[in-house]
Structure 1
Amino acid sequence: MRRPASWTAVALGTAAGFLVGVLFVVALGIGEAQEAPPPRTVTVLSRVQAPTGDETVVTKTAVPDVVGERLDVAHERLERAGFMVKEEEGGFFGSIVDSNWEVVEQDPAAGIALERGSTVQIKLDRR
């Protein structure tokens, strides 16, 4: 006659299964790290009349083109330009290692002028 499993055996089996699952997810998410391209700096000079206090000043910035960029580079460029980033897809557990994901679409498109603080939506795919 077979004896029922003890709680210790069940707990150890569950913990081992969980550990194997975590290791599997980490193994899928870790790839070869690639070096990020050097950042580009662009200086734009403009002449803006100083506000008199009666009007509202809205600063708009062109959305950078991040299609084809690694996720970590795209986040940095969009946030440096003053935008919030919303990711679509990125796998079942999300984008665990940003350098393993690539931006395949963005909304709004590159070059569209948006107010700083606006959200740019990016769609991801594995590299």
Structure 2
Amino acid sequence: MRKGTHVLLEMFGCDPILLDDIRKIKKIYKEAIKGSGLVEVENSFKLHKFNPIGLTFVSLLKTSHVSFHTWPEFNYACLDIFACDEAKKVYKAEKVFLKYLKPKRVKRLVLKRGFITLKNSKGVMNKKI
């Protein structure tokens, strides 16, 4: 049983002015969603601008979510894209963010969520937590 792909990025050495620009960040997000084939839940994009700098946003997708957080004072941003959809859609969206943010260094983690086979699923549903 396959549940989804979750990409987590830590991006270092990004342009601090870009990381604080609501209009440009929202444009990057829209291009990433449209270009990847992921589908945003209507009116789910929520952005918060910190004072004096930095921003965070979260958006629901029909198959999960995207979240993005910036610390312009450290030239740093982090991005999570999780989708119970084709993995290639998640990777396409990720590439759009990387193309525009141009980090000097990236720490990347990919989680394959809910990959259960008959061999490794024995007792999964019966375990007490």
Shorter-chain TM-score range = under 0.3
Q: TM-score, normalised by structure 2?
A: 0.24
Q: TM-score, normalised by structure 1?
A: 0.24
Higher strand share: 2
Larger-Rg structure:
1
